[in-house]
Structure 1
Amino acid sequence: MLWLKAFHVIFVVTWFAGLFYLPRLFIYHVEATEPALRERFKVMEKRLLAITHIGGGLAVAFGIALVVWWMRHAPTYLSHAGWFHAKLALVLALIAYHFSLVRIAGQLKRETCRWTSRGLRLYNELPALLLIAIVILVIVKPF
């Protein structure tokens, strides 16, 4: 189980690196005025999005493996852990945020994005708030 946890944490860190940095690239992209610079941001966004997909997919896969492990070794534990259900809800919100970044990257690629740099700066704060809440739930287990 410790190996599963270790790999889950490794890929959560990888995922969050992408979730934190990709919106920053979007901000720079929206603010760029030179066509060559905008094209460079498109390439950077595509590559970072691929790494973010891998990190997110493996974080979820190892998370599911952990749930399976708990269900086999302590089947009633997770059903009575309110913190775990709250964490899952926040992870679903993170997945939705991830897919919203995919949508924004597509809009930037097609040059149909209507986000302002200010709007993207505010939107960029969402994964940090989710991370704080998830870590508190996992470590403190308040309910």
Structure 2
Amino acid sequence: MPVHTRSRPMLWIKALHIVFVVTWFAGLFYLPRLFIYHAESDNAAVRAQLQVMQRRLLGITHIGGALALTFGIWTLILVPSYLHQGWLHAKLALVLGLVAYHAYLAHLVKQFGEDRNTRSSRWLRVFNEVPALFLIAIVLLVVLKPT
């Protein structure tokens, strides 16, 4: 392993990247679950509470995502040789997909906040599985580093 990837500051940056990836994924996993509960509820008070929860969780998800991306970019700046590895290109493409998924979650929070949801709970259940597929693919790429 190259010396620069084992330096103490680099280890801190990687550790913080992982912490904020976990934070980001918590929101990516749980927001669609709140949408399902919302779509299935006939109770106005419950829907109002779910709207508050969705907005707050979206804020935490924004923070986790922004910091995960920040520490990931910082890693690439400190170890630019990663950019020459094919597995990283695939990981970055998947991360862009996650950013798009995150943006769509924000759109859905707005729709639910305005009581304009058009998606069924069944559709939302399938949609809820998308980040798990991204997570599996990203972890496999990072750990196995296929060429």
Q: Give the 3 Å change call, closer, same or farther, for CA 57–79 of structure 1 in structure 2.
A: closer
Cα distance in 1 for partners of 2:39, 2:46 equals: 10
Q: Give the 3 Å change call, closer, same or farther, for CA 48–119 of structure 1 in structure 2.
A: same
Cα distance in 2 for partners of 1:79, 1:52 equals: 26
Cα distance in 2 for partners of 1:59, 1:103 equals: 21
Among all aligned residue pairs of Structure 1 and Structure 2, give the percentage whose two residues are the same amino acid: 57
| 1:95 corresponds to | 99
Give structure 1 regions of 4+ aligned residues with deviation exceeding 4 angstroms. none
- Partner residue of 1:123 out of 121, 127, 135: 127
Q: Is 1:58 aligned to residue 67 of structure 2?
A: yes
Cα deviation 1:84-140 (Å, max 9, x = unaligned) = 000000000000000000001100011111010000000011000000000000000
- Give ranges in structure 1 of 5+ residues lacking alignment: 72-76
How high is the TM-score relative to the length of structure 2?
A: 0.92
How high is the TM-score relative to the length of structure 1?
A: 0.95
Cα distance in 1 for partners of 2:107, 2:44 equals: 21
- Give ranges in structure 2 of 5+ residues lacking alignment: 1-9
**Cα RMSD over matched residues?**
0.7
Count of equivalent residues: 138
- Alignment-mate amino acid for residue 141 of structure 2: L
- Partner residue of 1:140 out of 137, 141, 144: 144
